[in-house]
A = this chain, B = another copy of it.
Amino acid sequence: MISQTAEYALRAAVCLAQYAELPLTTQQIASVTGVPAGYLSKVLQSLVKANLVMSQRGLKGGFVLGRRASSLTILEIVNAVDPIKRIVTCPLGIETHGVNLCPLHKRIDEAIAMVETSFAESTLAQLLASPSKITPLCALPSVANLEPRQTINKLKDEADGG
Contact = CB atoms under 8 A, between A and B. Distances in A.
Interface of A: 1-2, 7, 10-11, 14, 33-34, 74, 84-85, 91-97, 100-108, 110-112, 114-115, 118-119, 122, 126-128, 130, 132, 134-140
A100 B134 CA distance: 8
The number of times this chain is found in the oligomer is 2
Of A14, A85, A108, A112, chain B has the most CB atoms within 10 Å of the CB of A108
Contact of A115 (B1, B7, B34): B1
22 contacts: A1-B84, A1-B85, A1-B111, A1-B115, A2-B108, A94-B137, A96-B134, A96-B139, A97-B134, A97-B139, A101-B134, A102-B134, A103-B126, A103-B127, A103-B134, A103-B135, A106-B132, A111-B114, A111-B119, A114-B114, A114-B118, A115-B115
Contacts of A91: 7
Contacts of A130: 103, 106
Given A34-B92, A114-B118, A115-B114, A136 B104 contact: yes
Contacts of A110: 118
A78 to B, nearest CB: 9
A102 B7 contact: no
A5 to B, nearest CB: 13
Contact of A34 (B93, B101, B138): B93
Nearest to A114: B114
A33 B94 CA distance: 11
A36 B46 CA distance: 34
